[in-house]
Amino acid sequence: MKDPKKFIASYVKCAGDLPQNGGPFVVSHFLESRTRNSNITDALRFRVYDPLWLLSRQWQLGEFKGNDAGTAMAVSCNVRTTSMSQYSYGEDNSNVVNSPNEEPLEPIVEQINRDITPMVRVEAATYFLDLLRSEKDNSEIRAIARILRELYPLKEENLLMPVSSLENGVVEEFAESRNTRLTLFRKAYASKSFDGYSLYQNPSVLKDTPEVNVSEELIDGYLEWFSRRYLPNAFQGSAWKEDKLGYEFSAENDKYHYKAQDYSGGRVSWYSFDVDKCKDKDAVMEHEEIKTLPTLATYPGAPNKRLWEFENRRVFMGNSTEMQAQGNVAFLQYATMYGNDWMICPLQTEIGKYIEVENVKVLDTFGRMYVINSRAGANDSKDVVFGQRWQMYINAPFDTTKNSNPDGLMFPPSLVQTIEGEPIEEVSILRDEMANMVWGVENKIQDGCGSSLDAGLLASEVGQFIDTSNEEAVKKATLSIKEKEQAEDIGFKTATLESDRITDYKYKVMTSVPLNWIPLIPQHIGGEPEYKCFLGGRETILRRGKLPCFFVDGEKGDYYPVRPLSSIMRKGLSKDKDGNTIEGPLFIEEEQVQGVGTKLVKNCQRSRWLGGKTYTWMGYSKQNKHTQGISGLEFDALKEPEK
């Protein structure tokens, strides 16, 4: 380098204004490179000045042994298609949808019956009055509304919600006072509205009342609206399975019958279905040719093929100095060695179709045509087992023990986007490793007027009320010992013991658990074959239990079972005519409860379909909780006494 000044220039800059008094100032030095020529075109050409050396290195590394293959330029696919014939769900798949391509699947399979809350009763009554405005004027509507309040009164017990975990009058009254929104709602509508749900149950009373004179078409329209909005599965049953914490439904076309198990809500897609059985292997289908352009199969973080293109480093797997995982090695090998060997060819089809590829014709840059007549694994005679074959965009067999290898992919009618409301109910099913228990923790419950209550806060307030009441009752009590005399005719005498000595320890038979924690106890089925058949052949399953809670009501104390408040955990609980609780079992499969916890959310959803049609429904969704539970449950514990 003869003249370094032509390559490097030095600049001196002041870090601020010069001081006026002639004092020292800060100077910063930095080096900045520049080229001899301001035109960088020659540098960007990236010329190879010794091509013979480059060819020799390619020969030395064996790169000339590769195939002389061109790049794929065009793809033509011959496919066979057929439409889905029906979808079914509910008890024994009795709820059948015969026009599957006209409606999306999510509102159909996810919809559940709504709880008949006070708001539902008032909202239905308001809607019926709106229907009357199409036939009556305002003066007649006011007269009919007075008659409806007499025929279908809004009773006090119908304006309440179960917000007390203990079935005790004093505790229930305190818990109801915590639900302030329902208290205001009850005061506003108790004497100003009638019961819309009672009208739905007994429409004959209204038809037999000549003073009202409402057409049967209007009443039938109201009954159809109420059933569609609030009780869509009143007769055939819902697709939701409590024991599996998911939805179950099925679908079929002329060739295959599909099953969808453990669908947890969200989006129904091709991977939600597994092939149950082949109905007709030679079913008649429509033939179609689809032409498309292939693109390289890549992923974020893979090295780009262009020399001067900046890479997106959102995913970077080569920054580990330790031994790489097998998944990282597979991705790195694919990106560096085989990234230009795999192409993606999108195939467009209609919703509600089953598509099956007959052959693929690929045209490369040399004008040669290659025909692919079979897909990978199509001629495999081995039994399909889990982990044996990796495939994408194909429905897996439902029974992996059978040698069934489906040929195509079904494309169900599903929604693109859904707007979800705030959770109305939320339950977390957690594993408590310290207590060796599984708990159903109620986080949110309904308040009865369209919103939710914090179940944890409510349980804390009710528990504090119970503890305070019990402590006041203990302070008023007197410790007495009854001794029997030798003479039987004298009877008993009472001796009162008084002591100011503070105990060293306090013995607890069992520590308390928050009232919103419902135990799920493992139950062994044993030698009962009828239950084994009902529970899928397993011998152990989680069953809802109940914890005792002691409460002193006046001068008498008793143990009360802690009841759940959410509709998710209250499955099987009902009331008889006398108000007594009828208990039915609630089973949950143990494998459905993840080690990190499972969260169930009940909320309303809204979406739009083709043509702008709107769907609104209420359903469940299952998510991972990402936490474990610590209930603090202990037995036979010695505690420090309270000061």
**Which 3-state string (H, E, C) describes 533-574?**
HHCCCCCEEEEECCCEEEEEECCEEEEEECCCCCCCCCCCEE
Question: For residue 280, is it within any domain?
Answer: yes
Find the mean pLDDT for residues 81-109: 83
What are the backbone angles phi and psi of residue 229, rounded to the nearest 5°? -85, -40
Q: Let me know whether 207 and 120 are in one domain.
A: yes
The model's confidence at residue 13, banded by pLDDT at 50, 70 and 90, is very low
Strand 517-524 and strand 581-583: the pairing is: unpaired
Q: Let me know whether 378 and 511 are in one domain.
A: no
pTM: 0.77
Q: Let me know whether 389 and 426 are in one domain.
A: no
Q: Let me know whether 123 and 95 are in one domain.
A: no
Question: For residue 13, is it within any domain?
Answer: no
Q: Let me know whether 174 and 254 are in one domain.
A: no
Question: For residue 499, is it within any domain?
Answer: no
Question: For residue 431, is it within any domain?
Answer: yes
pLDDT at 361: 94
Q: Let me know whether 360 and 381 are in one domain.
A: yes
Between residues 47 and 117, which one has the greater pLDDT?
117
The model's confidence at residue 384, banded by pLDDT at 50, 70 and 90, is low
Cα distances (Å, whole numbers) of residue 544 to 374, 518, 565:
52, 7, 13
Of 373, 390, 411, which one is at a domain's C-terminal end? 411
Of 411, 440, 456, which one is at a domain's C-terminal end? 411
- Is the pLDDT score of 4 beyond 60? no
Domain count, the chain: 3
Find the mean pLDDT for residues 96-100: 76
- Is the pLDDT score of 419 beyond 50? yes
pLDDT at 19: 47
Question: For residue 602, is it within any domain?
Answer: yes
Of 230, 250, 267, which one is at a domain's C-terminal end? 230
- Is the pLDDT score of 26 beyond 70? no
Find the mean pLDDT for residues 430-444: 90
SS3 percent helix, strand, coil of the chain, rounded to 5, is: 25, 30, 45
Q: Let me know whether 534 and 635 are in one domain.
A: yes
Q: Let me know whether 266 and 226 are in one domain.
A: no
Q: Let me know whether 519 and 559 are in one domain.
A: yes
- The SS3 call for residue 207 is helix
For 428, the token pair is 């977390």
Q: Let me know whether 518 and 582 are in one domain.
A: yes
Question: For residue 314, is it within any domain?
Answer: no
pLDDT tens for 538-583 read 778 899 998 889 898 877 888 899 999 998 898 888 877 777 888 8
Query: Per mean pLDDT, which range of 210-224, 332-346, 600-614 is the poorest?
Result: 332-346
Number of H helices, E strands in the chain: 13, 32
Q: Let me know whether 93 and 216 are in one domain.
A: no
Q: Let me know whether 249 and 152 are in one domain.
A: no
d(CA 60, CA 398): 51
pLDDT at 496: 53
d(CA 371, CA 377): 17
Question: For residue 384, is it within any domain?
Answer: yes
Range of the domain at 389: 76-108+239-294+345-411
Find, among 26, 33, 27, 29, the residue nearest to 4 by Cα: 33
Find, among 242, 278, 582, 619, the residue nearest to 429 by Cα: 242
Question: For residue 92, is it within any domain?
Answer: yes
